Chains A and B, each alone.
Chain A
Amino acid sequence: MDRLKLFLPLIIFLVLAAVFFGVQRRVQTGDYSPTALPSALLDRPLPDFSLTTLAGGQLSREQLPKQWLLVTVWATWCPSCHYEHPFLVELAQRGVLILGVDYKDRRQPALQWLAEKGDPYFATVFDAQGQLGLDLGVTGAPETYLVDARGLVRFRYQGALDQKVWDREFAPLIATLESEVMP
């Protein structure tokens, strides 16, 4: 017993070292991001909005399709959005509905971006002032929100989407969403 007491500091050190190493490892592999925060909107309705679209029309929350969809916040000034765009195009080809939110951007470069890189969005609302972004609790672009058929936000991902993130974070959730609709 006294022997054990002697080694207690070393044991505590080893346990803490293992914990910190584990967290560091998870940060490196991308399993855990200390900057990612759960959205304050989780399980709450998507904020109301009525904005002009890039195409020139008007879109409000009530006009959104009544099925699960993604809301992606992007901008031409955002480097990670360049990286994620091809994957969004791929998702759209697979039939995923994506609403674009062009966040604090200018219309002309945004239209040019979509013309050059392809347009994965069924509509893109033009949030020049960032008001919808603020209501969503956006901290930067890109961010992607998963909205279910009832219009509730179910998940928020901060950062660029790719296949890996999709398989890990979105695919299981979407499977649940689709099983909710079935019965």
Chain B
Amino acid sequence: MRLQQLLAMLLLVISMPALAVIETYEFDNDVQRQRYNAFIEELRCPKCQNQNLSGSDSAIAQDLRRQVHQMIMAGKSDIEITQYMVDRYGDFILYRPRFNAATAVLWLMPLALLLIGLAVWALMTSRRNSPPGGELTDVDQQALQALLDDDRDDKPGAGGAS
């Protein structure tokens, strides 16, 4: 009996933090629930380095989840909710930040890197396909001829030099 009581107490204590994490929000319909879930997936926790609202247990993430729920229930549009968040936390809070001067580098960098990659690739293949060396100048031609003549002269005298 005492053991059972102890176990029950232990279970109560252990399950306390788990209870604190679960939030149950009521929605009128499934669309509201889906919008809520989409928002907490898409919005970034401002306190955390890389977590969305649904994944974070920080106090600010809880507050923002509550705020999103309130605004959905108050009939605010997605644009209004997004604007509300950006007004307070900047583009940082959006996992897909809107295109502007501050976020341009984020959006354009992959494209720029791709273009650089393509340019390097094009350069390398064009170099590989063109004949190596190119035209010989007159001076080169004379030097070559001299070497060849040298070789021809040597052969009979040296007798089997490899």
Contacts and interface: CB of A to CB of B under 8 A. Distances in A.
B150 to A, nearest CB: 28
Interface of A: 34-35, 37-41, 104, 130, 133-140
Interface in B50-108: 58-60, 63-64, 67, 86-90, 92
6 shortest interchain CB distances as A-B pairs: A40-B90, A137-B88, A139-B47, A139-B46, A137-B89, A139-B60
B137 interface: no
A37 B46 contact: yes
Interface residues of B, number: 15
Interface of B: 46-47, 49, 58-60, 63-64, 67, 86-90, 92
A136 B87 CA distance: 9
A64 B46 CA distance: 28
B90 A137 contact: yes
Contacts of B87: 40
A159 to B, nearest CB: 12
Given A40-B86, A40-B87, A134 B46 contact: no
A135 B88 contact: yes
Contacts of A133: 63
Given A39-B90, A40-B86, 18 more contacts: A34-B49, A37-B46, A37-B90, A37-B92, A40-B87, A40-B89, A41-B88, A104-B59, A134-B63, A134-B64, A134-B67, A137-B46, A137-B89, A138-B60, A139-B60, A139-B89, A140-B59, A140-B60
B74 to A, nearest CB: 14
Interface centre among B46, B63, B88, B90 (most CB of A within 10 A): B88
Contacts of A138: 60
A88 to B, nearest CB: 22
9 contacts: A34-B49, A39-B90, A40-B86, A104-B59, A130-B63, A134-B63, A134-B67, A137-B88, A140-B47
A37 B89 CA distance: 9
Contacts of B90: 37-40, 137
Of B49, B67, B89, most buried by chain A (CB within 10 Å of CB) is B89
A8 to B, nearest CB: 12
Contacts of A34: 49
A35 B50 CA distance: 10
Contacts of A140: 47, 58-60
B49 A35 contact: yes
A128 to B, nearest CB: 12
Nearest to A136: B88
A27 B86 CA distance: 27
Contacts of B58: 140
